[in-house]
């Protein structure tokens, strides 16, 4: 292999690598990512946890006492309820789950102090359950606090906790809701309770088969049925997220609702091949399809048509349309000339006629022309947001970059400078479409998104999930 | 399913914490901290080694499948002890080789008798005719009840199914923890290889014919760590459970 080939191969490896998260995101059995005073926190097995200022770059520093395994965290009122398994799963399956409170997750805060942990569930080593892997949910319809727990050893169980004390609700008895699952948790949506749990094997690096499945029920106590009507008490479950690329063995689903239409899941991958096969934190969009949650995609770099969901038109430079040569027509006339492919219009064919300064944008019929194709890459910027980095969006083949303006419009500037108004956040929404937002709007503290104010007019405005004006698709033709 | 996670946790923690010394901050940067000792946990139920907790002794009366068609009556052989660290060793080749070698009879239509003892290698093992109280047959409970090894086991199974009429285009459907192989009337029906969970209808056979009268099902389930378990039923050509069957043990 010559040097050129090696360079190409190296470049391919670099560009095709998809990191789950960056920094030092090494964790196993992460708690649902929780926000506290502008930072993000997740705790793992063994104690401690990860902290991130932006949700993309993670470092150690979280503090959770008690050791054990597989915690979960939920903010209730102005406090955080932290729940964890005391044993991390002992060979004799004797275990206990404890809850404790803290006013803050920031270990540097003067308010940082955990309450004394209290036991809310146990397994005696003989019963068909192992009291580890808790997941907690506050039912938005009733305000009642529920916890599921259990592992491969028998049943996943449901108990009710007191949301004021974090203790087991008086008189509550566990209900079996699934079998051979780990790391379960509940989600409520549109009249359904969803039980998400991890199947497969763990802790064997890239050989781990962990995957997250789901069943749903109209009642919190089940039965939780999958998409073919099979109960999770019979092993049923519809796939939510499985191995993708070098990110192997996802498990420990946690549900994060950022705002209407923007939901994420926190998970861990048993092995991230790009990071030496270590277990790492992962954050993916949650997409709801036909009433079922599935993992969306972390945005992939590439060259795309950016399609407005409003009408299906494409984002384009506001430049003169340049006609292409029209092929032979002569319908009905005999023509035995050889058929040759017609060349596509090239950037060089049209660029020379464009202005050299800022160029406005519009949305038009997609014609596969150079002024309609956008190359989107991770920006040379270390910051990000929950689950992703900021992106640089340039017209394909050029350095002409998409930028927000101080008057809340969107234009292109001749060259990408890395200015924050040229950095774009891309979130997959719960319906599978995308939201595109500048990191900042100059001289504005407003959080605005790219929207279609008319079929052909892009602008910046507040994001509205209920309007197709706020949604975009990326088409890779 | 092989969940070695829990027993391996101390090892995992050691590896990660060792890595911490070299690799800087991780999720474990604060260290595991003092672990709170387990509180006293009273026993919640009967822990005696008794079959009657999860099974009943099969009677001479024929038994129907349960409401969802699961076969609950089985002749079950005491476990063959196997040295298995991880269940992902259960490749097709491993299962075929092991089930062939650690076999009580190469006649797959042979029906043992309740209480009979057979030899597998140098182990003398006894047959039990049992009805599971659940849709599945939990072999962990079976071996616990017998005070036999619970992990690293191979368990042979036989049942006899009376069919009032010939039924064509049925499929045998099973789920097991972790690997298994199944035969119908002496012919191989399906192989469940890999590190599997006990999931109903996890694998189905190709189309089979249940004869009018006596049909003999043989199974073998193997498991390392975790809870050995299986469930089995027949599905008709529309995918619905076949319930018009009677199960007996001889």
Give tens-digit pLDDT for A382-432: 899 999 999 999 999 999 999 999 999 999 999 999 999 999 999 999 999
Query: From the centroid of its chain, how far is CA B162?
Result: 23
CA–CA–CA angle A323, A366, A351 (5° rounding): 50
CA distance B127 to B116: 6
A132-141, B11-20, B176-185: least confidently modelled range: B11-20
One domain for residues A130 and A190:
yes
Average pLDDT, chain A: 93
Question: What ranges do the domains of chain B cover?
Answer: 56-248
pLDDT value for B36: 65
Over residues A180-188, the mean pLDDT reads 97
- Calculate mean pLDDT across residues A305-310: 98
Q: How many CB pairs under 8 A join A and B?
A: 182
Structure confidence at residue A7 (pLDDT): 34
Residue A188 burial (C-beta neighbours within 10 Å; 0-12, 13-18, 19+):
middle
The pair of structure tokens assigned to A69 is 């395994």
Residue owning tokens 């406005």: A360
Q: Confidence class of residue A458 from pLDDT cuts 50, 70 and 90?
A: very high
According to the model, what pLDDT value does residue B35 have?
Answer: 61
Backbone angles phi, psi at A113, to 5 degrees: -160, 120
Minimal CA separation from B30 to chain A, in Å: 5
Residue B48 DSSP label: S
Tell me: the pLDDT tens digits for A76-116? Answer: 999 999 999 998 767 789 999 999 999 999 999 999 999 99
Please indicate whether, in this complex, the C-beta atoms of A124 and B38 are within 8 angstroms of each other: no
Q: Please, which residues bridge with residue A294 across strands?
A: A287
Of A295, A312, A336, the domain-final residue? A295
Average pLDDT on B166-177 reads: 98
Q: Percent of chain B having pLDDT more than 90?
A: 81
Do A255 and A314 share a domain, yes or no? no
Q: Is the dihedral of CA B238, B240, B246, B248 positive or negative?
A: positive
Among chain B residues, CA nearest to A119 = B39
Q: Are A87 and B8 within 8 A, CB to CB? A: no
Residue A12 has pLDDT above 50, yes or no: no
DSSP A26: B
CA distance A347 to A352: 9
| Rounded Cα–Cα distance for residues A295 and B119 (Å) | 51
Cβ A456 vs Cβ A361: under 8 Å: no
pLDDT at B12 over 80: no
Distance, in Å, from the CA atom of A133 to the CA atom of A130, rounded to the nearest integer, reads 9
Pairing of strands B213-223, B123-132: unpaired
Query: What's the gap in Å between the CA of A47 and the closest CA on chain B?
Result: 4
Got the DSSP string for A99-149?
EEEES-S-TTSTT--PPPPEEEEEEESSSS------EEEE-TTT--EEEEE
Same-domain check for residues A192 and A290: yes
- What residues in A contact B23, CB-CB < 8 Å? 24, 26
Q: pLDDT band for position B1 (50/70/90)?
A: low
Report the phi/psi class of residue B194: left, alpha or beta, with left for phi > 0 and alpha for psi in -120 to 50: left
What is the mean predicted confidence (pLDDT) over A337-353? 91
Q: Where are the alpha helices (DSSP H) in A268-354?
A: 347-350
Do you find a cis peptide bond into A223, omega within 30 degrees of 0? yes
User: What ipTM did this prediction achieve?
Assistant: 0.89
**Active site residue: A54, A106, A176, A182, which one?**
A182
The architecture (CATH level 2) of B56-248 comes to Sandwich (2.60)
Same domain, A291 and A306: no
Backbone angles phi, psi at A436, to 5 degrees: -120, 120
pLDDT at A132 over 80: yes
Binned at pLDDT 50, 70 and 90, residue A239 comes out as very high
Q: Average pLDDT for residues A10-35, to the nearest whole number?
A: 75
Judged by average pLDDT, the poorest of A293-302, A332-341, A440-449, B138-147 is A332-341
| Nearest CA-CA distance, residue B31 and chain A, Å | 6
Determine the residue of chain A that is closest to B88 in CA distance.
Answer: A207
Q: Are residues A289 and A308 in the same domain?
A: no
CA dist A267 and A200 (Å) reads 15
Q: A73 with A55, same domain?
A: yes
> Which percentage of chain A shows pLDDT scores above 70?
95
What are the start-end ranges of the H helices in B105-147? 139-145
Which chain A residues are within 8 Å of B241, Cβ to Cβ? Answer: none
Residues 6+ apart with CB under 8 A from A40: A33, A34, A51, A52, A53, A54, A55, A386
The boundaries of the domain holding residue A422 are 302-322+344-475
Question: Using CB atoms, which residue from B17, B24, B45 is nearest to A127?
Answer: B45
The answer to whether residues A255 and A197 belong to one domain is yes
Q: Is the pLDDT of residue B218 over 90?
A: yes
List of chain B residues whose C-beta atoms are within 8 Å of the C-beta of residue A203: 3-5, 8-9, 12
**Interchain pair B28, A48: CB under 8 A:** yes
Please tell me the distance from the alpha carbon of residue B128 to that of residue B78, in angstroms, as a whole number.
8
In a domain, A196, yes or no: yes
pLDDT over threshold 90, residue B240: yes
Q: Measure CA A248 to chain center.
A: 16
Of A24, A61, A127, the CB nearest to B44: A127
Token duo for residue A75: 């903010």
- pLDDT tier for residue A330 given thresholds of 50, 70 and 90: low
Q: What is the reported pLDDT for B21?
A: 31
In this predicted structure, the answer to whether residue B203 has a pLDDT above a threshold of 70 is yes
Q: How many CB atoms lie within 10 A of CB A212?
A: 29
Residues A174/A158, Cβ–Cβ less than 8 Å: yes
The pLDDT score that the predictor gives to residue A365 is: 97
Q: What is the pLDDT of residue B17?
A: 35
Q: Are residues A382 and A273 part of one domain?
A: no
Q: Which residue has the tokens 């200022």?
A: A53
Name the 3-class secondary structure at A352.
helix
Task: Pick the closest to residue A180 from B121, B208, B85, B231 (CA basis).
Answer: B231
The answer to whether the beta carbons of residues B247 and B64 sit under 8 Å apart is yes
Measured in degrees and rounded to the nearest 5, phi and psi for residue B170 equal -90, 160
When CB atoms are compared, the residue of B17, B33, B88 closest to A201 is: B88
- Two structure tokens written together for A28: 């196993």
pLDDT digits (tens, 9 = 90+) for B37-94: 788 999 999 999 999 999 999 999 999 999 999 999 999 999 999 999 999 899 999 9
Which of the four pLDDT bands, split at 50, 70 and 90, describes residue B3?
A: low
Of A219, A72, A75, the residue nearest A135 (C-alpha): A72
- According to the model, what pLDDT value does residue B9 have? 41
Q: Which of A29, A54, A270, A307 is catalytic?
A: A29
Residue bearing tokens 């004869």: B211
Split into its structural domains, chain A has a count of 2
- pLDDT band of residue B13 (cuts 50, 70, 90) is very low
* Percent over 70 (pLDDT), chain B: 86
The CATH code of the domain that includes A103 is 2.115.10.20
Q: Are residues A262 and A193 in the same domain?
A: yes
**Residue B10: per-residue pLDDT:** 39
Rounded distance, CA A220 to CA A144, Å? 11
- In the three-class reduction of DSSP (H, G, I as helix; E, B as strand; rest coil), residue A212 is classed as strand
* Spatial distance between the Cα atoms of A201 and A147, rounded to a whole number of angstroms: 23
Statement to judge: residues A160 and A279 lie in one domain: yes
Q: Are residues A316 and A289 in the same domain?
A: no
More confident residue, A329 or A133: A133
Sequence-distant (≥ 6) Cβ neighbours of residue A23 within 8 angstroms: A52, A57, A58, A59
Residues A454, A353, single domain; the answer is: yes
Mean pLDDT (whole number) for A308-318: 98
Nearest CA in chain A to B54: A128
pLDDT of amino acid A381: 80
CB B170 within 8 A of CB B176: no
Evaluate whether A96 touches A75 at the Cβ level (below 8 Å): no
Choose among A62, A89, A126: nearest Cβ to B6.
Answer: A89
What is the widest separation between alpha-carbon atoms in chain A?
Answer: 90
The domain spanning residue A379 has which CATH number?
2.80.10.50
Residues of A in contact with B199 (CB under 8 A): 180, 199, 234-237
Contact A193, A177 (CB under 8 A): no
Q: What is the mean pLDDT of residues A246-250?
A: 98
CA angle A240, A63, A118 (to 5 degrees): 80
Query: Is A316 designated active site?
Result: no
Tell me the C-alpha distance between A111 and A102, whole Å: 8
Q: Does B2 contact A201 at a Cβ distance shorter than 8 Å?
A: yes
Closest A-chain CA to B36:
A66
Signed CA dihedral, B156, B162, B166, B171: sign only: negative
- Told to judge if A421 belongs to the known catalytic residues of this protein, a careful annotator would answer no
- What local confidence, expressed as pLDDT, does residue B58 receive? 96
Distance CA A393, CA A439 (A): 12
Mean pLDDT in residue range A355-359? 97
Q: Which chain B positions have a beta carbon within 8 Å of A151's beta carbon? A: 3, 6
Q: Which residue of B has its CA nearest to A41?
A: B27
Best of B4, B6, B141 to disrupt the A interface (most A CBs within 10 Å) is B6
Q: What pLDDT is attached to residue A137?
A: 98
With beta carbons less than 8 A apart as the criterion, state whether B182 and B205 touch: yes
Task: Please provide the average confidence, as pLDDT, over all residues in chain B.
Answer: 88
Does A49 fall in a domain? yes
């Amino acid at each position: 292999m010559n040097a050129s080939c090696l360079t190409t191969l190296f470049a391919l490896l670099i560009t095709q690598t998809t990191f789950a998260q960056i920094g030092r995101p090494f964790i196993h059995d992460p708690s649902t990512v929780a926000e506290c005073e502008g930072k993000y926190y997740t705790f793992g097995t063994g104690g401690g946890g990860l902290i991130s200022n932006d949700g993309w770059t993670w470092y150690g520093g979280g503090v959770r006492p008690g050791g054990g395994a597989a915690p979960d965290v939920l903010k209730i009122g102005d406090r955080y309820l932290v729940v964890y398994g005391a044993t991390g799963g002992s060979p004799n399956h004797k275990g206990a789950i404890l809850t404790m409170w803290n006013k803050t997750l920031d270990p540097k805060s003067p308010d940082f102090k955990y309450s004394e942990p209290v036991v809310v569930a146990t397994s005696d080593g003989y019963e068909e359950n192992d009291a580890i892997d808790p997941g907690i949910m506050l039912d938005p319809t009733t305000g009642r606090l529920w916890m599921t727990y259990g592992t491969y050893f028998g049943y996943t169980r449901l108990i009710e906790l007191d949301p004021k004390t974090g203790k087991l609700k008086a008189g509550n008895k566990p209900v079996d809701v699934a079998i051979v699952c780990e790391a379960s948790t509940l989600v409520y949506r549109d009249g359904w309770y969803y039980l998400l749990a991890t199947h497969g094997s763990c802790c064997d690096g890239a050989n781990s088969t962990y995957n997250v499945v789901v069943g749903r029920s109209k009642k919190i106590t089940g039965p939780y049925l999958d998409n073919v009507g099979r109960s999770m008490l019979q092993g049923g479950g519809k796939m939510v997220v499985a191995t993708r690329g070098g990110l192997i063995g996802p498990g420990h689903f946690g549900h994060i609702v950022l705002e209407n239409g923007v939901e994420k899941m926190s998970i861990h991958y048993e092995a991230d091949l790009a990071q030496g096969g270590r277990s790492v934190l992962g954050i993916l969009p949650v997409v709801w399809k036909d009433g079922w949650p599935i993992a969306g995609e972390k945005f992939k770099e590439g060259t795309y048509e950016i399609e407005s969901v409003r009408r299906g038109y494409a984002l384009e430079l506001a430049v003169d349309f340049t006609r292409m040569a029209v092929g032979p027509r002569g319908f009905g006339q005999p023509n035995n000339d050889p058929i040759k492919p017609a060349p596509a219009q090239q950037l060089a064919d049209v660029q020379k006629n464009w202005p050299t300064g800022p160029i406005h944008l519009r949305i038009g019929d997609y014609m596969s022309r150079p002024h309609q194709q956008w190359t989107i890459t991770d920006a040379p910027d270390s910051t990000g947001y929950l689950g992703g980095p900021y992106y640089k969006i340039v017209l394909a083949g050029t350095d002409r970059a998409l930028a927000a303006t101080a008057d809340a419009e969107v234009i292109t500037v001749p060259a990408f400078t890395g200015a924050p108004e040229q950095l774009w956040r891309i979130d997959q929404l719960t319906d599978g479409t995308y939201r595109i937002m500048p990191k900042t709007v100059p001289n504005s503290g407003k959080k605005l998104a790219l929207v279609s104010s008319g079929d052909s007019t892009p602008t910046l405005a507040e994001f509205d999930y209920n309007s197709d004006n706020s949604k975009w698709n990326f088409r890779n033709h | 399913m092989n969940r070695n996670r829990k027993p391996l946790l101390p090892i995992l923690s050691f590896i990660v914490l060792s890595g911490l010394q070299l690799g800087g901050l991780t999720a474990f940067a604060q260290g595991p901290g003092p672990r709170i000792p387990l509180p006293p946990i009273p026993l919640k139920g009967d822990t005696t080694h008794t079959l009657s907790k999860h099974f009943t002794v099969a009677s001479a009366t024929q038994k129907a499948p349960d409401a969802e068609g699961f076969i609950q009556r089985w002749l079950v052989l005491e476990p063959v002890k196997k040295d298995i660290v991880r269940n992902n060793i259960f490749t097709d080749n491993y299962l075929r080789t092991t089930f062939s070698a650690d076999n009580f009879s190469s006649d797959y239509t042979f029906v043992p008798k309740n209480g009979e003892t057979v030899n597998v290698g140098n182990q003398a093992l006894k047959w039990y005719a049992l009805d599971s109280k659940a849709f599945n047959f939990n072999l962990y409970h079976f071996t616990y009840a017998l005070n036999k090894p619970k992990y690293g086991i191979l368990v042979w199974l036989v049942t006899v199914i009376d069919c009032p009429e010939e039924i064509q285009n049925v499929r045998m459907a099973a789920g097991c923890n972790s690997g298994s192989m199944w035969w119908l009337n002496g012919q191989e029906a399906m192989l469940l290889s890999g590190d599997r969970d006990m999931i109903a209808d996890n694998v189905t056979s190709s189309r089979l014919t249940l004869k009018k009268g006596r049909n003999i099902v043989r199974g073998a389930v193997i498991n390392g760590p975790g809870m050995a378990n299986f469930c089995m039923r027949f599905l008709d050509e529309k995918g619905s459970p076949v319930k018009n069957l009677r199960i007996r043990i001889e």
